[in-house]
Chain A
């Protein structure tokens, strides 16, 4: 859902999505700034507004007047930067394919840039190979990393060599353009928007004759930037809240939760902690004597697989509790009255961490079974590796 803003373009009313409106405003403000000192400034601006209005009308037809952000951006790209014609010749040739479409046929939206495989350092773990591959194939980087680790384990080091070769061979994306190319079509993010606006800003600066107006423009720009980034952040925040709303709604319908949250939450937490401890005890018993607290696991099932199954079962049991707690946090963060709720959730987190860490420490220092279990972990890990290896060579 996007906010829609009504604009008046030289006497024509149009409705634009908010980010499209911002883009248009940057364009028109930039044009006005560039034309500072031009005696025909007002006239040129109104000509430009009229041209944009004509394009919008051609694009939307007679019965529709809400333009999407992408449409507004395409129109701005078609308009091209306002050229004062005063001094410096433009370096770039006018893009021929974009200039013509002023008639009823709207120009196509700017084509997505070609994708290329790069190493990406933003958010990478080692050298950005997995990150780059993930960006190229639109995958979660964690999945690619896991695939690499498992692959390296199964192939006994060949995967490692492959990784090293890729780290050397694949170029690193260092400029903004390369990073865009690594990700394919860049989404219109706040950063991208601000980057573009800033480019326009420095461009406009050149056109100012004296220091005074330069300074005024600078101040105004900074204020605008701050306001925009605030509004973008707010929008992102709202989106997050909306995405969680089904949880929120579900738990909000239960009035006892509403009244007793402060009391209920620590209990939920303790229950959760008790479950976690139970789980840990089961794991420990499994690691030390190969039984599920006295009960033998199904025969033929290796220990590591049992642990994986237990993990899944545990998460399945714990999920509603987690959901309830999350809903509570969301409520605290997105609801109208954050107030003491935030402190309760902080307190809750603190209780949880302290409780678990104290118990773990006690267990490690005082219970020989736990120590034995911990020393058994490498054995189980090797078993898992061998099993996977065998499975791999059999298939």
Chain B
């Protein structure tokens, strides 16, 4: 797919926005996130996800607590910080604006 390849940088850029959206709805752990992404165009692998989550935590957009899981060792459950929620709001607005602009082009 040529489009797939062409839009790879854009998808990559949007990944952070999508993570903010996913984590905003509920506390999730990494495998949950990957599962939600897997059926979409934004399918991601651990190799990409973990560095990005760490980066976002360093930017204080999200935080995690350890929680016991029924099987196996405790897991990191991520949630948004206040700063993360603010960022999500701003990004949503910005994305809306971009969409509007996109629609305007090509119309007479």
Contact = CB atoms under 8 A, between A and B. Distances in A.
B44 A94 contact: yes
A45 to B, nearest CB: 9
A94 B35 contact: no
Contact of B51 (A54, A82, A98): A82
Interface residues of A, number: 39
A40 B50 CA distance: 10
A47 B30 contact: yes
Contacts of A101: 38
Nearest to B69: A54
Contacts of B85: none
A99 interface: yes
B106 interface: no
Interface residues of B, number: 33
Nearest to A42: B54
Contacts of A209: none
B30 A94 contact: no
Contact of B47 (A39, A43, A80, A100): A80
Contact of A99 (B43, B53, B57, B71): B43
B4 to A, nearest CB: 4
Given A80-B46, A82-B47, A100 B34 contact: yes
Interface in B51-103: 51-55, 57-58, 71-73, 76
Contacts, number: 106
B46 A90 contact: no
Contacts of A40: 51, 54-55, 57-58
Given A99-B34, A99-B37, A93 B11 contact: yes
B51 A83 contact: yes
B100 to A, nearest CB: 25
Nearest to A99: B43
A11 interface: yes
Contacts of B72: 54, 57
A79 B38 contact: no
Contacts of A92: 5, 8
A89 interface: yes
Nearest to B45: A80
Contacts of B39: 100
Interface in B1-30: 1, 4-5, 8-9, 11-12, 30
A39 B11 contact: no
Contacts of A54: 31, 72
B30 A51 contact: yes
Interface in A28-48: 31, 35, 38-40, 43-44, 47-48
User: Which of A54, A95, A101 has the most CB atoms of chain B within a 10 A radius of its CB?
Assistant: A54
A262 to B, nearest CB: 60
Contacts of A91: 5, 8
B33 to A, nearest CB: 9
A96 B38 contact: yes
B50 A94 contact: no
Nearest to A35: B51
B76 A89 contact: no
A35 B50 CA distance: 11
A99 B51 contact: no
A89 B9 contact: yes
Interface string A1-31: 0000000001110000000000000000001
Nearest to B38: A100
A43 B51 CA distance: 9
Contacts of A50: 73
Contact of B12 (A47, A53, A90): A90
B29 to A, nearest CB: 10
Contacts of A79: 45-47
A12 B5 CA distance: 37
A85 B41 CA distance: 18
Contact of B73 (A12, A48, A93): A12
Given A89-B12, A99-B37, A99-B44, 20 more contacts: A35-B51, A39-B58, A40-B54, A40-B55, A44-B54, A47-B76, A78-B46, A80-B45, A85-B48, A90-B48, A91-B5, A92-B5, A92-B8, A93-B5, A94-B48, A99-B38, A100-B37, A102-B35, A102-B46, A103-B31
Interface of A: 10-12, 31, 35, 38-40, 43-44, 47-48, 50-51, 53-54, 57, 78-85, 89-96, 98-103
The 6 closest A-B pairs by CB, nearest first: A100-B38, A80-B45, A40-B54, A80-B47, A89-B9, A99-B43
